Structure 1
């Protein structure tokens, strides 16, 4: 299982409430793909969203977004956790 940080850009900004709803849709969908969305961060004014996710691969993570709400990531970066 890999760890990934994905990045979304929403032109015109985004509301934290809309991102929270999308995250709930991800959580409801993720199990079918062996994915675990862990945490997300939002910059409402800039329209930036970052999601931390455990997944078999980047495509599985994006598949959950696509199926859950249609907002696939612009970029997905493999990351590692350090204490």
Structure 2
């Protein structure tokens, strides 16, 4: 399955606790779309969130975000894992 990195830009910063709650909502929703959210990273001060996800396609990954909490990604890139 393809691997994607998505990027969210949150104006005014973001709290890591809020991102953790959104990630938990993603985990509850993901199986309905054949998606597996793996990890996320947060830059609280700059309001940047990065999510790593196995998904059939970018739209399926974004659909999980939309249905779980409404915070869709601003950018989604297909990526390959390196060492």
TM (norm. structure 1) is 0.99
1:81 alignment partner in structure 2: 81
TM (norm. structure 2) is 0.99
Distance 2:22 2:2 in 1: 22
Distance 1:24 1:76 in 2: 20
Aligned residues: 83
Runs of 4 or more off by more than 4 Å in structure 1? Answer: none
2:34 alignment partner in structure 1: 34
Distance 1:46 1:20 in 2: 17
1:21 alignment partner in structure 2: 21
Q: What stretches of structure 2 of length at least 5 have no aligned partner?
A: none
Q: What stretches of structure 1 of length at least 5 have no aligned partner?
A: none
